Amino acid sequence: MNHHPRLVVAISSRALFDLNDSHEIFMREGFDVYRQHQIDREAEALLPGVAFPVVKKLLALNNNPLASRLVDVVLLSRNAADTGLRVLRSVEHHKLDVERAVFTGGAPVHPYAAALEATLFLSTEHEDVVAALDAGVPSALLLTSTTTDNSSEQLRIAFDGDAVLFSDESERIYQQEGLEAFNRHEKDAADIPLPGGPFRPFLAALHNIQSLFPSEKSPIRTALVTARGSPAHERVVRTLRSWNIRIDEAFFLGGLPKGEFLRQFKADIFFDDQQRNCESARKHVATGHVPNEALHE
């Protein structure tokens, strides 16, 4: 096994821990008061944030029978090292095996997501996510969500199709010309694989880990949860086949709300580009919005 982990997950401190109180102090009273607040509370561990359960499960992939490190989680924070000490102590307190951290002292963090060759970047800062996506890093804006009480050990990740796993070319047709034109186009192009979207590299990395295990013992389960219905499903199936990537479960919902299906799948996290789908999903599972500025201009 090479020394580079298969999966590098970069995460902002506000996605990992609940920093809402201190963030409000920062916004309301400025940096100096915020800095003092964090220093005074250095011994108090921060509570888990939205991404905490999924990060725990990602790190648990390292306790595997192959005895190899499959995942590296890196903290990317706009804090300075000084105010970041409380975050690092919280990492220790919660026994998270996170050995790398980058503190930018207020500067944007996305260049470092690219420098780390991150396979996934989770943040609560819209501009960092958009900039990281532009740099080719699969990135999502974490929304405050209900996180499922998911006692299973298995990591379950669900994806939307168009503009997430696949490019947005078909979605553009849908938005500009409507469902009928979209279905006609997809039926005509059924044999032509869809171009990859921003999350294709992340799905591929998950697939690489899955392929190290017998399928019935896989520590990861993936699902495609798409608004596509028949006849637009065929192109998706053929695309995944052409990429040589398996997806464990696929839901072609023909426009039904996704939330309840995600709850039944017990997704640890779900990625979608459409705000309304994210709103439906976040009531049930942790949700990452994949902003597609081009689609919504």
Cβ burial 76-107 (10 Å sphere, 16+ → b, else e): bbbbbeebbebbbbbbeebebebeebbbbeee
Rounded to a whole number of angstroms, the distance between the first and last alpha carbons of the chain is: 44
Residues 6+ apart with CB under 8 A from 264: none
Residue type, 137: V
Asked if 78 contacts 106 with a C-beta cutoff of 8 angstroms, the reply is yes
Q: Which two tokens stand for residue 140?
A: 């999502």
Instruction: Report how far residue 280's alpha carbon sits from residue 224's, in angstroms, rounded to the nearest whole number.
Output: 16
Instruction: Report how far residue 14's alpha carbon sits from residue 5's, in angstroms, rounded to the nearest whole number.
Output: 24
Q: Please give the helix or strand (H or E) that residue 198 lies within, else none.
A: none
Asked if 96 contacts 117 with a C-beta cutoff of 8 angstroms, the reply is no
Asked if 80 contacts 109 with a C-beta cutoff of 8 angstroms, the reply is no
Asked if 243 contacts 196 with a C-beta cutoff of 8 angstroms, the reply is yes
Q: Please give the helix or strand (H or E) that residue 166 lies within, else none.
A: none
Q: What Rg, from alpha-carbon coordinates, does the chain have? A: 19
Instruction: Report how far residue 148's alpha carbon sits from residue 100's, in angstroms, rounded to the nearest whole number.
Output: 28
Peptide bond into 111 cis (omega under 30): no
Active site residue 72: no
State the catalytic residue, choosing from 160, 162, 268, 273. 160
Catalytic residues: 160
